[in-house]
Structure 1
Amino acid sequence: MPRALPRCELHDLPVRAQVPVRVATWLLDRPRLGDTPSVKRFAGRLLKQPARQGVVQAQSRLGQMLCRDCGNTRDRRIGVELLRQAARAGDGHAQLELGRLYCQPRTLEPEQARHWLELAALQGHEEARVLLKRL
């Protein structure tokens, strides 16, 4: 299991260290570009080191990518751990993503889903409120 790293916000880093996360985020947020497998691989490589260093935004985005786009169990397990670290650090997107994961039939854990969705809802995520009503 990956070790817990100190929490680090993107804006706390020197500008040079922020660049890979900003570039990866920009690439992934482009409508057609962000859906391309080669772009996702490149963005994943850019996010890997900052995520290891504890950058919450990098952990959240890389965790989402690994959980959604990777077919193997090992990558999904790493993705869930990265999401957990980011969610514990207060990242609302990671909290919402964990709530979604725990609502899925193959990983159904209603208590965990409720916990993360409640935290995401407190941060203003409307989808979390909708999912909470379904639980």
Structure 2
Amino acid sequence: MPRALPRLDLHTLPVRAQVPVRFATWLLDRPRLGHAPSVKRIAGRLLKQPARQGVIQAQSRLGQILCRDCGNTRDRRVGLELLRQAARAGDGVAQLELGRLYCQPRHLEPQQARHWLELAALQGVDEARDLLDRL
């Protein structure tokens, strides 16, 4: 039986452990850098270990990369699971991303989409409210 990982918020980690997540986030959020496949690979490598350790922000960002940018089924499945873990831990961005994914024809599950979008909207994510209005 798999053991449950503790949920860690980035701010509760020692500064040294925060560096890979912060740097990966910085890379992904740069308009000119964040769209390059090579930068996404680097960021993914930086996020992998913290995500395994249960860092919510790392799970959320790595899940987004794997679901959006990976072509193979296994990576998308892992990304979806990482997003679920982060969303269950209360990450509004992961909840929004899950809602978006469940609206797509590949995953079309309107009940799941509505569930995650409602949770994201309760956290003040405006885009989730807009998507809920269109469902």
What TM-score do the two structures reach when normalised by structure 1? 0.96
Contact 1:4/1:85 (CA < 8 Å) preserved in 2?
Answer: no
Equivalent AA in structure 2 for residue 60 of structure 1: S
Give the 3-state SS of the residue equivalent to 2:38 in structure 1.
helix
**CA 4–113 in structure 1, closer or farther in 2 if over 3 Å, else same:** farther
Residue segments in structure 1 that go unaligned for 5+ positions in a row: none
- Separation in 1, partners of 2:123, 2:56: 16
Number of residue pairs matched? 134
Summarize the alignment of residues 53-132 of structure 1 with structure 2, pairs less than 5 Å apart: 53-132=53-132
Give the 3-state SS of the residue equivalent to 2:11 in structure 1.
helix
Equivalent AA in structure 1 for residue 134 of structure 2: R
**CA 44–10 in structure 1, closer or farther in 2 if over 3 Å, else same:** same
- Separation in 2, partners of 1:93, 1:4: 22
RMSD: 1.0
CA-to-partner distance for each residue in 1:79-101, whole Å, 9 max, x for gaps? 00000000000000000000000
**CA 79–92 in structure 1, closer or farther in 2 if over 3 Å, else same:** same
Give, in angstroms, the shift of residue 130 of structure 1. 1.1
Equivalent AA in structure 2 for residue 30 of structure 1: R
Give, in angstroms, the shift of residue 3 of structure 1. 5.7
Off by >2 Å, runs of 4+ in structure 1: none
Residue segments in structure 2 that go unaligned for 5+ positions in a row: none
Give, in angstroms, the shift of residue 4 of structure 1. 3.9
Give, in angstroms, the shift of residue 122 of structure 1. 0.6
- Separation in 2, partners of 1:37, 1:106: 23
Q: Looking at secondary structure, tell me which structure has more helix per residue.
A: 1
- Separation in 2, partners of 1:115, 1:99: 8
- Separation in 1, partners of 2:7, 2:126: 26
